[in-house]
Amino acid sequence: MNQQAGRVELTAHKRTVQGKQVKQLRREGWIPGVMYGHDFDSVPLQFEARSLQHLLSRVGGSQLINIKIEGQKKPEAALVREVQRDPIRHNLLHVDFYHVKMTERLTAEIPLEMVGESPVIEQKEGILLQDLSSIEVECLPGDLVDAIEVDLSDLVELDQALYVRDLAIPAGIDVLTDPDEMIVHLVRLEEEEIVEEEELLMPVAEEVEVITEAKEEKSTGEEE
C-alpha cells in the first residue's frame, strides 16, 4: 500500500454563475464545481481548466486535496467525489469535492494496485482475470492510502484466486466491501487461445478500402 505524502493543492474561486450561464464559463477556460460535506455549507466554485485537468490526472478518489479558495486564509481539505464529462468529447463539465474533517470518519473507494508476477502467467499456462479494481473503506481522513497492493506472486496454481479477505489492510482502515468478494483469479490458457495470441502478434496486411460511391458530407451546426 502507498501511504499518502504531501497533499496536492488546487486553487479555486467562488462561483456566482449558475444554470445555463456555466456554458460561457467553460468557454472562458473555467470548470464549474461545488464543495459540500457533513456540517459544511455547500460552496459553488470554479477552477482554471488546465490546473484542474492536471490535478485529476494525478489523484484518485482516496487522495486528500488542499483547496485554496481565493479570499480565505486556510485551505480546505477535500476528496474528489464525482467528475462529470461530456459523453462524446470527454471534456470536463463539472467536479464535486467532498469537504472532510480530519477528526471525522468517512467512507471512500481505495484503488487496488497489482504488484508482483504469478509464475503460472510467466510460464504461459494461465491468464489472469480481474473482477475488482477498488474496495470501499471507512476511516479517518489521515489514515487514507493512495492504493492497496494485491500481490500476484501468491497465485501459484491454476484456478487459484485472491479475495478481499486476503488483502493486507493498514491499521485504522475498516473494509466495507464483502470479504468474500473475488479480486483476481487464474484460469487455464487453452491451446486455442495460445494460437490466437500468436496470430495477433503476426503482421497483418493493411486492408484497402474500396470506395464505390462518394460519401455525402454532413454539415454540423455551431457549438452551443
For residue 93, which of 135, 46, 59 has the smallest C-alpha distance? 46
Q: Which class is 106-200 in CATH?
A: mainly beta
**Which residues of the chain does CATH 2.40.240.10 include?**
2-99
Q: 17-60, pLDDT tens digit by residue?
A: 888 888 899 999 999 999 999 999 999 999 999 999 999 998 88
8 Å CB contact between 55 and 79: no
Looking at per-residue confidence, does 156 or 210 come out higher? 156
The stretch 117-128 carries a mean pLDDT of: 86
pTM for the whole structure: 0.74
Let me know if 169 is exposed, middle or buried by CB neighbors in 10 A (0-12, 13-18, 19+): middle
The stretch 103-131 carries a mean pLDDT of: 91
For residue 184, which of 126, 103, 102 has the smallest C-alpha distance? 126
Q: Which class is 2-99 in CATH?
A: mainly beta
Please, which residues bridge with residue 211 across strands?
Answer: none
- Among 12-21, 47-56, 64-73, 154-163, the minimum mean pLDDT is found in 12-21
Q: 15-28, pLDDT tens digit by residue?
A: 988 888 888 999 99
> Which of the four pLDDT bands, split at 50, 70 and 90, describes residue 207?
very low
